[in-house]
Every structure is written in structure tokens, then in C-alpha cells.
Structure 1
Amino acid sequence: MSDALLRATGIDVRFGGVHALRDVSVSVGPGEICGLIGPNGAGKTTLFDVLSGMRRPDAGAITYDGTDITRRSPVWRARHGIRRTFQRQQLFGQLTVTDNLVVAQDWRGGVRPAARLRRERAAAVLHECGLDALAGSYAGALPVGQARMVELARALADPPRVLLLDEPASGTTAQERRELAAVIRHMADKEGCAVLLVEHNMTFVMELCSRVVVLDLGRLLAEGAAAEVQADPAVREAYLGAGPGAAEGDRRDH
């Protein structure tokens, strides 16, 4: 994509003798929702670690809005609009839902007027995500589906330009996935946010993403429109038609 907002080019990552990523290139543009799929161990989370700055690649580069940020820290990236959620929930369990969103904005500093504005922003985001009733609940007491939505809301509290979502639909019900998808679409369509998501639920991916990238054993296996990728024989053999991950998402529909 020539108009990519976030781009990884020629990424290589090694863990000792394990070649986790081999010459992987991927990009996502403003207003786009791109899916990143592949079997367990394909390198998806490692690529997210590289994109978010948590791991420096052994080779390759990351550019953000045309600027090389390969050596920039995770903090720098987060404060410049690249936000990430994690496969394992990372909420502040001893804080309320509202305070989880306020904390995400506190790096900006300031005194009382700023603090009030952060709480107003938190309330607005909770409303957009349908979480008003949970504002005063402790995050650590929430069931998985609600916690996933709170994680997304926290990533939106300080308006993002890029969202990296690691299995946002994991452990959710069909209704909760519809609500997640609606918020993600709003961020892409109305706010122009670039969204890259890792997900094993193929129904969720194929209905939500305009483009899909497939990794297998650290290599780029396929890339294209969702329907094209779904029909690709190599993809079906490596992932969609063979492994348990393909059916896992549909079994979770309830």
C-alpha cells in the first residue's frame, strides 16, 4: 500500500536457533481493517511485538506515517497513536473501569481541569462502547467478554491512529463479538483509524476485514481480499481447512 500509515518491511526475528519471522512485510492504511491470521506459532504475536516496539527486529524496518520508527520505544509509539491490546487480558484489576481509561490519558499531565477532561473523555468512550453501566465496577471482577471491550475502550481513551488488536474476540459470545465489530468499524470508518487484528475466529475476520494477511512458520503465505484469501488452496491447507484454529472460532458462537 502506497498510502500505508504503518508499514513493516523485510522483518526478520530470531530466538536463538528459531527463525520466528523471515522477511515479512505488512502494512495497514488509514481507515482500513486488516486481519492477520495463521496457525499457532506462525509469528503473529512476534510481529505485533515488533510493530509496537516491544521487540527490535534482527533485520527490517518499521515506518509510521513515512518516518522510520524501528528504534523508537513502545512508550514513544503509544504516545504517538499506536495502541495495542494483548492476547492475555492486561487490565488494571484493582481499578474501576473508568479509572482504567483515565490512566491511559494521564501521561499528558496537567492539573485539575485536565483531570476533569480525562474523566469526561473516559465517560464518552464508555458510552460509545456500551459500557456505561460498568463505569464504577472493578475491572478485575469482569467476565471475559466485558473485559475485552474495556481493553478496547482503554485503547481508544486517548484517540489512536493505529490499533493493533491481539485476539480481541477470544472468549466472547456472538453478541459481544457483534458489539466489538461495531466499535472497530466505527473507529475505521468514522475516525480513520488503521486497524490490524490477530484473530482465530474466521467468521469474525472475514466479516470485518477488507484485507487479510496470512503467516505460516514465520513467512508470509498469502495476502489479499478476505474472500480471495479464504479460497486460496495453500491457506486452506496450512490453516483454514486443517488445524483446530480454523473451527475454533465457529465453535465459540453461542
Structure 2
Amino acid sequence: MSEHILEARGIGVRFGGVHALTGVDLSLRPGEVCGLIGPNGAGKTTLFDVVSGIRRPDRGRVLLDGADITRRSPVWRARHGLRRTFQRQQLFGQLTVADNLLVAQEWRGGGGGLAADLLAAPTRRTHERERRARASTVLRECGLAPLADDYAGALPVGRARMVELARAVADPPKVLLLDEPASGMTADERGQLSAVVRHLAEEENCAVLLVEHNVAFVMELCARVVVLDLGSVLAEGTAAEVRANPEVRDAYLGTTAA
């Protein structure tokens, strides 16, 4: 069994004549928070799409808990604990905040017609209680309990981002991919986001991969940072190591002279 819960090995993606990713290797351990940074066009979202199953790579493999999932669907990956959020908000705007979290757990309900429903009624009631208990816990941890009955589509951007995170973890994940989760958040909301991510890693042993343009936020939150540039891994290490890397300063953070 691998020590890594998630591995991307030699990932290559090409759009026509453009190489979006060229042999990218990336791995995550359970309970780790890793930042993925780089300039626009570096390939960060493309890598997220490959890992989450939205795009199949031209070469390379994706492994979850040691098993090759390269050809598995996004739904299969989600049901086996690999979740993500998106740059563009993807909430069910006409549902309440609480119902957004309940929908994320609905796949556990099963099916099978009226007879099966009658036979499984006690089990279904148990599942329903468990789903609502988990949703209530996550809402509280994310600071969303007062908004539980509000419609998701009416929320300001920062709160909506937090609902997206809450929905992604409503059913406990093994791996969580967060694509610019702090976009549109206030400083207080970013602090709350950091607290939730740390809780997921430390208390629920979830591996978190974070793409975020707020470099200071990434450096403060993440134990390890990976830098992509032109579709390749430019650097990898602790926040201090990456910050001190002259190639990273030139490519992304800005040189001292600049």
C-alpha cells in the first residue's frame, strides 16, 4: 500500500499543438495541505481536471489509495472520496444552504422501487438522520449554521464559496481539490476558510490540494507548495523554500529587482 493517498504520475495533456501539461508528477499524503501555484496558463486547472476525471490525460496515470483510477469517471471518483470545487460557483441556487449539503449525500440513499423502499424504510430513516446530523455539523464548523435556511443563490460571494466547501465535505472526503476557494472572500472569511481546511487535514485526515492566486494565503496555510510553470513542475518544497527560490521569483512571485 502506498503512503500517498493521491498520485499523479507523468501527466501530459495537449490541446492541439499546445502542451498544457508535460510529465507532471504530484503526490499527496493523508492529512496534508499542499498548495499548487503558478502564473495564469501554467496548467493548474488542467491538472485538477485530470485528477478529478473531467479530462483524460494524453499520457500518465492517476492513482487513488494505490489504485489506478485514470479511466474512472468523475462520479466514481467522487463516490470513492475524491472531491473538488471549481473557479466558477456551482451551487444549487434555488435550494437552501442546508439542502445543498443534503444533496451532496443523496447518493447514499439507494433505490429499487416501491417494495425495496418499504423493506428499506428503517434503513432509509437512519441514513436520513445521519445525513442531517452530518450536514448540521459541517454547517456549524463552517460558520454557516445561521444561514442554513437561506437560499444559496442569494448569498454574497464569500459566503457562497464557503457553502461550496461545506458541500464538498458534507460526505467526508479522502482527497479535496480546492480551486481558488478564497476568491471574493474577506480577510475574516479567509481566516475561517483556513481553520476549516486545517480541521479537515488534522481531525479528518483529509488530503487537501489548494490552487489559489493569493500567494500569502497559500504560504501561510500550506505545509508544502508545488509551483507549475508552462505545464511543468518548476519547484516544490516548504513555503520558505519556495519563497526563496530565484526561479519561482522570476516566473511568478516577482524578482527583487522588479
TM-score, with structure 2 as normaliser: 0.91
* 1:179 equivalent in alignment to 2:197: no
Displacement of 1:109 after TM fit?
1.1
Q: Give the alignment's TM-score, normalised by structure 1.
A: 0.93
Amino acid at match of 1:73: S
Report the counterpart of residue 203 of structure 2 in structure 1. 190
Equivalence for 2:63: 63
Aligned residue in 2 for 1:21: 21
Between the two proteins, the alignment pairs up a number of residues equal to 241
1:69-218 matches, cutoff 5 A: 69-110=69-110, 111-218=124-231
Match of residue 45 from structure 1: 45
The 1-side partners of 2:4 and 2:27 are apart by: 6
The Cα shift of 1:192 comes to: 0.7
CA deviations over 1:39-81 (Å, ceiling 9, x no partner): 0110000000000011000000011111111111100000000
Q: 5+ residue gaps in structure 1? A: 243-254
Structure 2 residue aligned with 1:223: 236
2:89 partner amino acid:
Q
Distance (Å, rounded) in 2 between the aligned partners of 1:241 and 1:190: 36
Residue 115 of structure 1: how far off its partner (Å): 2.2
Distance in 2, Cα, partners of 1:114 & 1:4: 31
Partner of 1:248: none
Q: Which runs of 5+ in 2 are unaligned?
A: 111-123
Partners of 2:125 and 2:201 lie apart in 1 by: 32
Distance 2:37 2:223 in 1: 13
Which one-letter code corresponds to 1:213 in the other structure?
V
Cα distance in 1 for partners of 2:72, 2:168 equals 19
CA RMSD of aligned residues (A): 1.0
Residue in 1 that maps onto 2:36: 36
Return the letter of the residue paired with 1:192.
Answer: N
C-alpha distance in structure 2 between counterparts of 1:31 and 1:117, whole Å: 24
Corresponding letter in the other structure for 1:79: R
1:100-137: per-residue Cα shift (whole Å, max 9, x none)?
00000000115333223212211111011111100000
Tell me the CA shift for residue 241 of structure 1: 1.1
Report how far residue 25 of structure 1 moved: 0.5
| Higher Cα radius of gyration | 2
Counterparts of 1:217 and 1:98 in 2: how far apart (Å)? 40
The secondary structure found in structure 1 opposite 2:204 is coil
The letter of the residue matching 2:227 is: V
